[in-house]
Chains A and B, each alone.
Chain A
């Protein structure tokens, strides 16, 4: 699969002050306009990868390159919890990034309205977060990320706390938005089905130390319908990634190089 790199992580390591090795010599490239999922057990450093990309916290070693005129200013972050300000209405929450950029409420009004419309929350502008369901809070959180017209979207288990129905609804809505906006998305999840359904590529990670053990290209065309979720191809990808994960969980598992592993998996699909 050929692509123009948007973000390249080169030999990135992160060791926390208590000695925990969160990431060790991690190499990862996210292509322009790709939707790449980082999948792995808890503690494998997948969230840390996003934080490093976002510049929240310093790397111990390694470097991150931004391709093609991108930089950190063009990115937006969606957290696992919606992380809304409880004292502010939906509208004010969505306005926040523009407010911090010094844009007046009047000048931001159309962008805010547009972002709210994109996530289908018209009519709830004046609601407070406590009045919203979990799924709606997440939509607000996504609208807040959209409002700055980012090129890169980093999503840290955004739908992890939601029920299955809400999750699959938001999954297809996200794909729909991605198709229209052409973002580059790095999506952290621990849900195999979600990863396969959404992504161009699924990067499987293992813990202690955090590293990449497989890089699986999901060769299914977009738009992906609900039928895709029940297709044999989908199930085959899920099975392979699941095997890669259990392989990684066994203590003697050797750290395969990404190319080897993905080639293996790819062969068996074909």
Chain B
């Protein structure tokens, strides 16, 4: 860790005669005091203070730019309406993300089983990725309504939109990862007459793991963005409306502090998704991959 504080004891120490190294225990209190945590927190606080003071000094009306204190007050006051919306957006994001993970992984596996399948279908996956979701969301909403009626129709169409956005990074990263297995190991598997299934399970999938997890991190954020964008297009209210609808309706009504509060929730949600996926990635790769290993100097 290049930025680690000399007091934080994050280095690993050489251990026994075999040259094996193990991480020294790090107390959570010490890690909270490290420069990596303090620096961005300080920057954040300074920015918020400048913002609040600026708004007060210039007497900017809240419908143009509310100060951070007002935003937090609004968030607390409107929590009863904003929280259910947060849950709806979260549901859409999670369902779309799960669908993206499963479909991305399965299609990537299918692609690596035959070069011809990959060659035939990959361009269409790219097309799906490059088409702006805003442009096709109305179509998806319209078609979904033909198939499914009632309240769940919107939910399903939003999930489909978010899935389209989230799916590609997983597909392309996993495909790359599955094809990146060490050639000597591929030869070794061939030498020991490994079946296609064994090669996939014991060699290709573990090799693809870091790539897949990288795709996961990108995809998690994109699923949220997809869900929000699609809801903007759908613009429907009712009992099952998400954060995007709250942002939209607040801006119509010039409830700018409330709009900021909803925006804040969306951002926090995005950060939480990213942090969880990063922790998952570090946990799964902790023993072997460079990305998850602390540098020993």
Residues of A within 8 A of B (CB): 51, 54-56, 73, 75-77, 79-81, 83, 85-88, 96-97, 99-101, 123-124, 127-133, 136, 148
Contacts and interface: CB of A to CB of B under 8 A. Distances in A.
Given A85-B203, A133-B19, A136-B18, A128 B288 contact: yes
B78 interface: no
A131 B20 contact: yes
B24 to A, nearest CB: 15
Given A123-B16, A131-B20, 8 more contacts: A79-B187, A83-B182, A83-B184, A88-B206, A97-B192, A100-B192, A100-B194, A124-B18
Contacts of B198: 100
B289 interface: yes
Contacts of B21: 131
A179 B16 CA distance: 31
Contacts of B182: 83
A99 to B, nearest CB: 7
Given A124-B20, A136-B18, A77 B188 contact: yes
Nearest to B19: A133
A71 to B, nearest CB: 12
A79 B203 CA distance: 17
Nearest to A126: B20
Contact of B185 (A85, A101, A128): A85
A99 B289 contact: no
Contact of A130 (B189, B193, B293): B293
9 contacts: A55-B191, A79-B184, A83-B182, A85-B206, A96-B188, A97-B192, A132-B19, A133-B19, A148-B192
A131 B23 CA distance: 12
Interface residues of B, number: 26
Nearest to B194: A100
Contacts of B193: 73, 100
A96 B202 contact: yes
A143 B180 CA distance: 25
Contacts of B187: 51, 54, 56, 77, 79
A81 B187 CA distance: 13
Contacts of A124: 18, 20
Nearest to A121: B18
Interface string B207-230: 001000000000000000000000
Contact of B191 (A54, A127, A128, A132): A54
Contacts of B185: 83, 85
B152 to A, nearest CB: 41
Contact of B18 (A76, A79, A127): A127
A96 B190 CA distance: 12
B101 to A, nearest CB: 20
Interface string B24-59: 000000000000000000000000000000000000
B15 to A, nearest CB: 9
A247 B85 CA distance: 82
Contacts of B190: 56
Interface string B276-296: 000000000001110001000
A131 B187 CA distance: 24
B21 to A, nearest CB: 6
A101 B184 contact: no
B19 A79 contact: no
A56 B194 CA distance: 13
Nearest to A84: B185
A116 to B, nearest CB: 12
A136 B18 CA distance: 9
B246 to A, nearest CB: 44
B20 A127 contact: yes
Nearest to B206: A87
A64 to B, nearest CB: 15
A76 B187 CA distance: 11
Interface string B170-197: 0000000000001011011111111000
B196 to A, nearest CB: 12
Given A56-B187, A100-B198, A87 B192 contact: no
B222 to A, nearest CB: 27
Interface string B1-20: 00000000000000011111
Nearest to B286: A128
B53 to A, nearest CB: 50
B187 to A, nearest CB: 5
A165 B18 CA distance: 17
B287 A128 contact: yes
From B18, B203, B206, B289, residue with most partner A Cβ within 10 Å: B18
Contacts of A86: 288-289
A95 to B, nearest CB: 11
A81 B188 CA distance: 12
A86 B184 CA distance: 13
Nearest to A89: B287
A87 B189 contact: no
B201 to A, nearest CB: 10
Contacts of A101: 192
Contacts of B189: 100
From B16, B187, B192, B202, residue with most partner A Cβ within 10 Å: B192
A88 B189 CA distance: 15
Nearest to B198: A100
